[in-house]
Amino acid sequence: MAIKYAITAGGNWDDNTTWSTTSGGPNDTTKPTAADDVKLDSNSGNVVLNATAVCRSLDCTGYVGTLSGSATLSIGDATAGDSNIALLFSSGMTQSATSTISLISTSATQQTVTTNGKLVRGTFTVNGAGSSYIQQDAFTTASLIRFTLTAGTWNMSSFSLTCDNMVISGATTRSLVMGTGTITLTGSATLWNATTTTNLTFSGASGTIVQTGAGATHVFIGGGLTYGTLTYMVGGSTGMDVTGSSTFGTLNFSPDTANKALRFTAGTTNTFGTFNVAGTSSYTVTLSSITAATHTLSKASGTVSSDYLSLTNSIAQGGAAWYAGANSIDNGGNTGWIFTAPPSPSASRGSDKGQSVANLLNLQRI
């Protein structure tokens, strides 16, 4: 194990001549191995990820050069990086590398990931059996870049995490800890994939997942997990399919500039604490199943107050009073929905917390 500094002249990661054992020193060593901690510091020049690269950690504290290239970078070995840093981008550097970055440590020591506002521009994967990583600040990928949690623990530490789409499906032991953080998904297809939850620990009941991408139908594969808030508020998308039987603290779904479709997998039961789903006098929310059979929506108590829905094959149950609203349409196959406005004139549409649809739109418009 050694610390390797990129020399002042910089160079290709894969060249031995790029590396030094001292900051600002001569090229007196070999390219980094998986056991080496790489430092790009104030004495380092531009470095190009030109071939498959490995290191135990990448620490760019004080670096003002450019990290570029597109070759895969795998970070980690059986021990934690120097100062328990796994990855640290400096605020003064230019991060233009489009490399796939994989965190593959097998050390149980919690290691830090700090991006200092720099975008991760290549697919990002956490795949270290028994590993533990914690964000030190917000984590944001460039457009179209996926975040995959395959093995190990990723702790958002209540910071924001933004990516095109997120995959947490799999069978290896892994944990996602959101805290009160927000995951913003900017993609346009399957944005959340929790298809297989074997050996997954998901701590997201206090977190928020927001979809901001355009495209056709967004797909949220819930995997039967318990979520905090899921918010769909996307002008350019046609709607959202929710698969699996999951639990949501709050579901926010409203149209803004067009009719939207919210569909659930037939035969599933999704449970809600708050069901903020409503259309407007201009745009309808079509609420149905993905296939021609019924789905079930459940809420234990209180009143659901919607309006301007077009409802098909929807069973509403659980103890709450489910008011579809006076302007909603019953297309058949519905059970438990009441197609009138709620009895109390003080109850506002679109929320069972007394929040109006208009206010909801203002609060969440992207």
Partner 1 sequence: MDQVYIQHRFKIEREGKSYSDALVLPINEYEALSPSEIENLKEERFTNWKEVIENPIPEPTKEELLAAIDKELSELTARRQAIEAEPVKGGTK
Which residues bind to partner 1, rule: CB under 8 A?
61-62, 83, 88, 91, 114, 116-117, 119, 136-138, 140, 142-144, 158-160, 162, 164, 180-182, 184, 186-189, 208, 212-215, 233, 362-366
Nearer to partner 1, 233 or 297 (CB): 233
Smallest gap from Cβ 364 to partner 1, in A, equals 5
Nearer to partner 1, 220 or 323 (CB): 220
Smallest gap from Cβ 20 to partner 1, in A, equals 18
Which residues touch 183 (CB under 8 Å, ≥6 apart)? 156, 160, 161, 162, 163, 166, 207, 208, 209, 210
- Is the sign of the CA dihedral 161, 167, 171, 172 positive or negative? negative
83: how many CB neighbours lie within 10 A of its CB? Answer: 12
Residue 363: helix, strand or coil by DSSP?
Answer: helix
Smallest gap from Cβ 306 to partner 1, in A, equals 21
Smallest gap from Cβ 366 to partner 1, in A, equals 7
Smallest gap from Cβ 328 to partner 1, in A, equals 25
Nearer to partner 1, 151 or 233 (CB): 233
Residue 298: helix, strand or coil by DSSP?
Answer: strand
Contact 205, 226 (CB under 8 A): yes
What is the Cα–Cα distance from 32 to 52, expressed in whole angstroms? 11
Contact 235, 254 (CB under 8 A): no
Nearer to partner 1, 64 or 347 (CB): 64
What is the Cα–Cα distance from 133 to 104, expressed in whole angstroms? 10
Contact 102, 130 (CB under 8 A): no
Nearer to partner 1, 208 or 286 (CB): 208
Smallest gap from Cβ 355 to partner 1, in A, equals 13
Contact 309, 324 (CB under 8 A): yes
Nearer to partner 1, 22 or 140 (CB): 140
